[in-house]
Amino acid sequence: MLFCPKCYTEYESQITHCPECREKLAYALPPHPDQMELFEMVEIYKIPDEITGMALNSFLVDAGIEASIQPMEASFYGGALNVMLGYWGKLLVPRDEETKARKLLETFIREFHGK
């Protein structure tokens, strides 16, 4: 079984190149971008408090970015960890949407904090 590394189509015949993309066929597939996305989350912002976190998350999700917030586990330390770190949690976005997310983040901060 051969695969096209570009369009991920499988070919059973003796052809060596994908007729669609003209890519040389390979025996093993590279990781699919959709699967990579799940694991490639990058931190773009340190969230000061829960309310900002929730607002920011829904702002990005509304804009089509699959953002997620990762609260620091404050309950274990009775909030001491947050005070120590100086923030409440982290804002994570898929790596391939990082640039777009950062632009939206700037807009968000301008609009909600008047800066």
> By the criterion CB under 5 A, which residues form the site for Zn ion?
4, 6-7, 18, 20-21
- Report the residue number, 4 or 93, with the smaller CB distance to Zn ion: 4
- Report the residue number, 18 or 47, with the smaller CB distance to Zn ion: 18
- Report the residue number, 22 or 115, with the smaller CB distance to Zn ion: 22
- Residue 90 identity (one-letter amino acid): K
Tokens at residue 48, please? 């000061």
Rounded Cα distance between 103 and 23, Å, is 35
Q: How far is the CB of 3 from Zn ion (least distance, A)?
A: 9
DSSP-based three-state secondary structure for 33: helix
Q: How far is the CB of 10 from Zn ion (least distance, A)?
A: 10
User: Where do we find the tokens 């994908």?
Assistant: 18
Q: How far is the CB of 38 from Zn ion (least distance, A)?
A: 23
- 68 exposure class (CB count in 10 Å sphere: 0-12, 13-18, 19+): middle
